[in-house]
Amino acid sequence: MTLSRLALTLALLPTLPALAETPSQDDALKLDELLVTANRSVEARSQSSAASTVFTRADIERLQARSVAEILQYVPGVNIVSTGGAGSQTGIFMRGTSTAQTLVLVDGQRIASASSGTASIEFLSPDQIERIEVVRGSRSALYGSDAIGGVIQIFTRRGETEGIHPYVRLAAGSRGTFERSAGVSGGDGRTRYQLGAALDETAGIDATTDELDGNRDHDAYRNRSLSLSLSHRFNERLEVGATLLDQRGKNEFDDVFGDTRPYNDFVLSSGSAYIDGTLSERWSSRLEVGHSEDKRDTRNDVANGSFYTYNTFRDSANWVNTLQLNEANQLLVGADWYEERLHATDAFIEGTRWNQGLFIQHRLQTGRFSTELGLRHDKNAQYGSENTWNGALTVPLNQANALTLSYSEGFRAPTFNDLYYPDFCSGGFCFPSANPDLKPERSKSYELQWRSDYSTSGHLDVSVYRTQLEDAIVLDENFIPQNVQNARINGFEASLDDQLFGWQANLALGLTDPRDRDSGHVLPRRVKRTLSLALDRRFGDFGIGATWRAVSGVYDDAANDIALGGYGLLGLRGDWQATSEVNLALKLDNLLDKDYAQGTYQGGLYPYRSEGRTALMALTWTPEI
C-alpha cells in the first residue's frame, strides 16, 4: 500500500463511539473479561474485533500446567511441535503459519532470536507467569513484523493491592523431575510488588530413535528462573512500574548428525519500565522502554568438543496514546522502535539493524454497529519501508450474538540467518548461504466471527478465515533462501466455555487447510485438525479434572513424502485443599502411554520421541500473614 493510499484512507475515517472507563493494565491482568494485547491498550474482550484466548493465573493453576507449550495447546488453531521432552526445541504453528510468523512478547518485549526468528518458549516457567493472551490473526497493523499468524503475550506475575502474600511450591515426579518455587507479592492502595524464584530439573527422555551411542542417553534439563514486578501510583493520573524476567540453565539434546553429547547453556531474559499517565479526561498515554536477551552457548562433552554462540540483544521503546474524541470515537496513536544486535561465533555479514514504526487506529462504537480501522508504517534498516492496515466491522444481532467481518495485512522481516549468514567454505571454494536481497513475507487475511452468549454460563466463539501468503522464504536447491513460496490457508475455529452439571467445560476445535499454491502440497508440520477438551469440577475441598487432546497426522517435508500419524492424549489431575494454607495436587499426563512423534530428523529417517506417561505430585503452601 502506498503512502498516498495511507493519506486517502485517513481522510475517509468514520466518526466513532466512546468506550467505558477501563482499569489500569495491572488490574486488567487479574480479570479474564479484559484484554490488553489485541489493541495495545486495555479493552473489554467482548468489544475487541480480534479472536482471542486468555489464560489467567487461576487457569494456569487449575490446569496444573508445567510449560507454556502445554497451555497453548488449549487454543483453537494452535499446534505445538517439540523435538523431545522438557526444554527441547519447540515450535508454534498458529492458523497454519510457520513458527517465525507468530509474534511472542513478554511484558511487551520481543523475545525471538534474531538469527532464527523463533521464540524459545520452552524455557519459560509457568511459575513466573500471571497471564497469557493469545490473539489469533494478523496484527501487523499495530505490531509490525512477525504478527502474521497472531500475537502471544506473556505477562509476568503481578503484586496484590492489599497485604503480603507469600507462597512456596515443591513438586516431584517421573524421570527425576523436581520443581521448587517460592515468592511473595503484596502492596497497598498505591504500591504493588512481586518477587518470585524457581528451580526446575528433570532427567528427561531419550528424544532420538537411532542407534548412535551418543544419542542413547536421556536429555536432562535444568532451569533457574526469577521474576520481579514493582509499580507505584503517585495519584489517580500517574503510575510508574518495572518488570523483570530471567530464565537461565542447561538443556541437553541429541546430535542427529553424529555421535557427540551436545547441550546448551541458555539465558532468556526481558525487562521493561513504564510511565502510565492520564493527561486529561480524553487523553491517556503510556511510555515504555525495555531490553531482552536470548543467549545460547552450544557445547558438547566429547574431548575438544565444538562450541558456538548465538546471542540476541534487543533494546526497544514504545509510546501509545489513547484519545477519546467523544462518546462514539476513539483514536489510538503510537510509535515504537527497536534495535537488534547479534553476537555469534560465525562472522555474520551484518550484526545489527533497527526498526521504527508509526501506527494509528480509529474505533467507532454505536448502538447498531462498531468499526475499526488501523494503519502502520514501518521503516527498517535492512529492507526499507512497509505499510500495513486492518479494518473490522462488528454488527450485534441481539444482546447475546454479534458478527465481526475483518481484513488484515501482515508481514515478516527476514532473519539474520536469511540475510547475513556467512558463506560456507570448503576445499578453497566458498558458497553463499544467505540472500541479502530478500523481501519481507506478506499476508492478507479475511475473517468472519460469530460470538454468542447463548446462556448465563455459556459462551461460543466461531471463526472462519482465509490467509494468503506471498513471497514466503524457503530454501532453494542450493540451500539459499528465496522469496518463492505463495500459500493459502483456509481455516475454521470454535471455542466453547460453559458450566455443565457443575463441571467447567472448555472445548477448542481447529480445522486448517494450509497449502502451497504452486504444488498443491500441504505445508510441512502443519496440523489440519486439532481438538481439546478440558473438564474440571470442585467437590468442597477436592477438585478433579481431565484433558483430552486429539491431533491429526502431518507431513514433515514440503514434498509430502514423510508422513507422521495423528494421536490422542488423555490427562487427569486432582487436588486437595487440606487446610486454608496447604494444597496437595497430583497430575497424570499421557495416561494411556501413547507413543507418538511430532517431527523427524536425518531427512525423515527417524522420528523424535515424545514423553510417555508422567506423574507429578505438588505441595503448595500459602501462609497467611
Q: Are strands 163-173 and 150-156 parallel, antiparallel or unpaired?
A: unpaired
> What's phi and psi for 71, nearest 5 deg?
-65, -45
pLDDT at residue 383 is higher than 60: yes
> What's phi and psi for 162, nearest 5 deg?
-145, 145
Residue 436 identity (one-letter amino acid)? P
Residue-wise over 521-554: b if at least 16 C-beta within 10 A, else e?
Answer: bbbbbbbbbbbbbbebbeeeeebebbbebebbeb
What are the pLDDT digits (tens) for 322-337? 999 999 999 999 999 9
Task: Give 53-96 as a DSSP string.
Answer: EEE-HHHHHHHT--SHHHHHTTSTTEEEEESSSTTS-EEEEETT
Q: What is the pLDDT of residue 1?
A: 41
Q: What is the mean pLDDT of the chain?
A: 92
Q: What is the pLDDT of residue 304?
A: 58
Q: What is the pLDDT of residue 12?
A: 38
Say if CB 510 and CB 78 are below 8 A apart: yes
Name, in order, each residue with C-beta under 8 angstroms of 256's C-beta and a sequence gap of 6 or more: 208, 210, 215, 601, 602, 606
Query: How far apart, in whole angstroms, are the C-alpha atoms of residue 191 and residue 357?
Result: 33
CATH architecture entry for 15-621: Beta Barrel (2.40)
Q: What is the mean pLDDT of residues 555-564?
A: 94
pLDDT at residue 459 is higher than 90: yes
Name, in order, each residue with C-beta under 8 angstroms of 574's C-beta and a sequence gap of 6 or more: 542, 543, 544, 545, 585, 586
* Residue corresponding to grid cell 454488527: 395
pLDDT-based confidence at 254, cuts 50/70/90? Answer: confident
Structure pTM? Answer: 0.94
Query: How far apart, in whole angstroms, are the C-alpha atoms of residue 358 and residue 2?
Result: 15
Give which of 462, 443, 442 is closest to 451, Cα–Cα: 462
Query: How far apart, in whole angstroms, are the C-alpha atoms of residue 547 and residue 23?
Result: 33
Q: What is the pLDDT of residue 11?
A: 40
Report domain extents, the chain: 15-621
pLDDT at residue 314 is higher than 80: yes
pLDDT at residue 2 is higher than 50: no
CB atoms within 10 A of CB 474: 12
Give which of 545, 524, 406 is closest to 79, Cα–Cα: 524
Return the bridge partners of 576, or none: 542, 584
Residue 572 identity (one-letter amino acid)? L
What are the pLDDT digits (tens) for 353-381? 999 999 999 999 998 999 999 999 999 99
Give which of 132, 161, 159, 111 is closest to 35, Cα–Cα: 132
Q: What is the pLDDT of residue 479?
A: 85
What are the pLDDT digits (tens) for 157-212? 999 888 999 999 999 999 999 999 999 999 998 999 999 999 999 999 999 988 77
What are the pLDDT digits (tens) for 255-298? 887 778 889 999 999 999 999 999 999 999 999 999 999 999 99
> What's phi and psi for 349, nearest 5 deg?
-60, -40
pLDDT at residue 17 is higher than 60: no
